């Protein structure tokens, strides 16, 4: 006789598990970015972030003018692992971000929302002090008037639909006894700057209106609008290389990857020193070379070669935009905090050879400009021949332009780097003919 299966439901201890969920790897900027993800995903065109530093009463508030939620939807949204269907271009993933990102920074998170301007605003919160007390997965309705005033304020002001996420009891954030001490003020300034740089980078496609079918998104931090930071500084003399597309299959899911390599200008080619320094980005030129990996237009990884090679001063002009569709999340091993991905292992060889090609061109641009700046500063003291960076034999195949002296090889490389793929064979032939005509050898 078949025995009935005995099943015992084991509900995890709320106070223990919720504490461990706080440590899934967010830092402050990444946590705020995950809240902003939700706002963008749910149709916001304007997102206002406020960070108030008041010692133990500090708070962070992210308010959007998106579609908002009904009371039932809001309650579901507060659940760890909330239920929903994910579309092709969904920024969300696990039904966790709102809760885990918030609790990684604070022990009290309130969310208020309305999906119709005529509706009453409702708010609920997760309060870890309450959870520690009752040891249940319980959210509380936001009834405290003082708290309501501050949480509901943006929705009342804009008189439309939207959502507010409010962090308080920021125990992971600032632990200074004296909120006006020099140490606290310095840290605060740095955190604001880091947050601004991070959002400017992560959401640059949304901020600049690059995303098809979407209105430009405005994000402000403490009332100041955040400007997009373009990793490829396309307003300067950046050279885009031929984009490559591939379709891959991973455990039954098919998705597209688009790789767009760029060779950035070297320092001397920038329009100003300020523009050059800005292009260095949050972690500086060396660290910012490499892949910029986008999932549904949101930047997940900025810089680094995904273990294909190390970052090197000579290759710092190479940056590659890599966009993948969320159907490939598993192939890219996307983690919960959306701070890390890995290249799909089946494509590593493909990417390795692509990176080698790109890095070679970047290196040539870097070396060429190094030589040129040396040569032009050297021009007035040509008598000290021993310092000349080019050999006598190369001088014999020199072409003069208005400002600079180029070897024919350099000119050819420059022209080829600017040319489209279909133009390159023709250009190579022309350079061959020039060499033949003037009896130059191609070294």
Ligand X SMILES: Nc1ncnc2c1ncn2[C@@H]1O[C@H](COP(=O)(O)OP(=O)(O)O)[C@@H](O)[C@H]1O
Residues in the chain: 443
Which of 23-31, 64-72, 272-280, 435-443 is the region at the interface with ligand X (rule: CB under 6 A)? Answer: 64-72
Residue 42 interacts with, from ligand X, Mg ion, none (CB under 5-8 Å by kind): ligand X
Q: Does 69 bind ligand X (CB under 6 A)?
A: yes
> Nearest approach, Cβ of 39 to ligand X (angstroms)?
4
Q: Which of 345, 347, 349, 297 is nearest to 324 (CA)?
A: 297
Determine how β-strand 122-127 pairs with β-strand 140-141. antiparallel
Q: Does 65 bind ligand X (CB under 6 A)?
A: no
Choose which of 29, 39, 58, 289 interacts with ligand X (CB under 6 A).
39
> Nearest approach, Cβ of 250 to ligand X (angstroms)?
20
In what helix (H) or strand (E) does residue 244 lie, and over which residues does it extend?
Answer: strand 244-250
> Nearest approach, Cβ of 239 to Mg ion (angstroms)?
36
Q: Which of 415, 406, 412, 402 is nearest to 432 (CA)?
A: 412
Nearer to ligand X, 70 or 286 (CB): 70
Give the contacts of 78 (CB within 8 A, at least 6 positions apart).
98, 99, 111, 124, 126, 139
Q: Which of 59, 71, 60 is nearest to 112 (CA)?
A: 71
d(CA 160, CA 170): 29
d(CA 56, CA 60): 12
Choose which of 14, 28, 92, 114 interacts with ligand X (CB under 6 A).
92
Q: Does 281 bind Mg ion (CB under 5 A)?
A: no
* CA quadruple 241, 244, 250, 254: dihedral sign: positive
Q: Does 98 bind ligand X (CB under 6 A)?
A: yes
d(CA 207, CA 386): 52
Q: Does 109 bind ligand X (CB under 6 A)?
A: no
User: Contacts with Mg ion: how many residues (CB under 5 A)?
Assistant: 3
d(CA 353, CA 342): 17
Q: Which residues share a beta bridge with 302?
A: 292
User: Contacts with ligand X: how many residues (CB under 6 A)?
Assistant: 20
> Nearest approach, Cβ of 92 to ligand X (angstroms)?
2
Nearer to Mg ion, 97 or 281 (CB): 97
Residue 39 interacts with, from Mg ion, ligand X, none (CB under 5-8 Å by kind): ligand X
Within 10 angstroms of residue 124's Cβ, the number of other Cβ atoms is 18
Binding letters toward Mg ion, positions 95-134, x by CB under 5 A: --x-------------------------------------
Q: Does 66 bind ligand X (CB under 6 A)?
A: yes
The pair of structure tokens assigned to 49 is 């972030």
In what helix (H) or strand (E) does residue 33 lie, and over which residues does it extend?
Answer: helix 28-41
Q: Does 265 bind Mg ion (CB under 5 A)?
A: no
d(CA 100, CA 25): 9
Q: Does 154 bind ligand X (CB under 6 A)?
A: no
Binding letters toward ligand X, positions 302-331, x by CB under 6 A: ------------------------------
Residues that bind ligand X (CB under 6 A): 38-39, 42, 64, 66-69, 77, 82, 84, 92-99, 163
Residues that bind Mg ion (CB under 5 A): 38, 92, 97
């Amino acid at each position: 006789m078949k025995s009935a299966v005995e099943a015992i439901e084991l509900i995890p201890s709320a106070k223990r598990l919720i504490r461990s969920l706080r440590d899934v790897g967010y830092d402050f900027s990444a946590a705020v970015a995950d809240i902003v993800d939700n706002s963008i995903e749910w149709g916001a065109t304007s997102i206002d972030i406020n960070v108030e530093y008041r010692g133990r009463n500090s708070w962070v508030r992210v308010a959007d003018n998106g579609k908002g939620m009904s009371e039932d939807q809001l309650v579901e949204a507060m659940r760890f692992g909330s239920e929903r269907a994910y579309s092709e271009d969904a920024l969300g993933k696990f039904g966790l971000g709102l809760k885990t990102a918030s609790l990684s920074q604070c022990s009290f998170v309130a969310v208020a929302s309305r999906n119709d301007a005529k509706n009453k605003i409702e708010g609920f919160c997760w309060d870890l002090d309450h959870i520690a007390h009752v040891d249940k997965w319980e959210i509380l309705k936001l009834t405290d008037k003082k708290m309501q005033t501050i949480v509901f304020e943006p929705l009342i002001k804009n008189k439309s639909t939207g959502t507010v996420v409010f962090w308080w009891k920021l125990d992971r954030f600032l632990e200074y006894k004296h909120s006006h001490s020099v140490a606290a003020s310095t840290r605060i300034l740095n955190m604001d700057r880091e947050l601004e740089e991070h959002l400017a980078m992560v959401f640059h496609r949304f901020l600049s209106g690059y995303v098809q079918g979407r209105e430009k998104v405005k994000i402000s931090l403490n009332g100041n609008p955040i400007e997009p930071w373009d990793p490829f500084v396309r307003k300067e003399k950046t050279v885009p290389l031929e984009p490559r597309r591939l379709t891959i299959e991973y455990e039954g899911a098919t998705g597209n990857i688009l790789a767009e390599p760029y060779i950035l200008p070297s320092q001397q080619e920038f329009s100003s020193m300020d523009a050059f320094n800005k292009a260095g980005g949050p972690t500086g030129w060396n660290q910012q070379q490499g892949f910029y990996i986008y999932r549904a237009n949101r930047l997940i990884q900025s810089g680094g070669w995904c273990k294909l090679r190390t970052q090197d001063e000579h290759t710092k002009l190479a940056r590659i935009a890599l966009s993948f569709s969320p159907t490939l999340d598993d192939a890219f091993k996307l983690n919960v905090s959306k701070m890390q991905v890995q290249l799909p292992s089946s494509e590593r060889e493909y990417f390795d050879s692509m990176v080698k090609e790109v890095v070679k061109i970047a290196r040539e641009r870097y070396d060429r400009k190094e030589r040129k700046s040396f040569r032009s500063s050297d021009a007035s003291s040509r008598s000290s021949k021993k310092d000349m960076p080019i050999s006598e034999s190369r001088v014999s195949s020199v072409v003069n332009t208005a400002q600079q002296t180029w070897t024919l090889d350099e000119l050819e490389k420059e022209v080829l780097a600017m040319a489209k793929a279909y133009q390159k064979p023709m250009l190579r032939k022309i350079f061959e003919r020039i060499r033949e005509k003037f009896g130059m050898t191609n070294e």
